[in-house]
Amino acid sequence: MSLIRRRTMTRIALAAGVALAGGMGAGGCTQAQDSPTSSTDSTGPKGTDSSAGQATSTGDSGTAGSTSVPAPADDATESVQVLQPRDDLVSPASVAWDSWELVDPRTVEVTFLAGSAQCEGVSVEVIETEQDVTINLSVGSLPGAGACPAIALTSATRVTLDADLGNRTVRQDAG
């Protein structure tokens, strides 16, 4: 199954779970008015509007017809697991990240989906030029990890740049 299709199916499953959890009332199922799958606005991570001056961007390349699921409210962001980059992963596979946020002039936090931190880790490849910064991620099993549940968790990792980001574009290679 292709990575894009797997990510789409994961997002659909997550959106369905949110709709079921949020739409259950005493009278049964109801449709939420603010359906995450009908959103067409482009917000950065943590639901911030990019016009507010915060440097954020979605990982999508602006494909027509794409939708975005709003990030959780600030009080729910504690559910994001932070993974430290590693070099010892078993069977790493490239994954596309969803969004990025500039933490300070030389630190970029990248958000993506991965399994449990007890089972999976992330490796990072960074290529810096004068025009852009390319950040590619791979997710793989931790050495010695046994049986792991097949879950997708919102994850983040921080990348330290050699020079300030400045006006450079943050991008990823097509996965």
Question: Tens of pLDDT along 32-91?
Answer: 343 333 322 333 334 433 333 344 444 444 333 333 344 555 554 458 999 999 999 999
Record the pTM.
Answer: 0.58
Q: Domain ranges in the chain?
A: 39-171
HEC string of the chain? CCHHHHHHHHHHHHHHHHHHHHHEECCEECCCCCCHHHCCCCECHHHCEHHHCCCEEECCCCCCCCCCCCCCCHHHHHHCEECCECCCCEEEEEECCCEEEEEECCEEEEEEEECCCCCEEEEEEEEECCCEEEEEEEEEECCCCCCCCCCCEEEEEEEECCCCCCCCEEECCCC
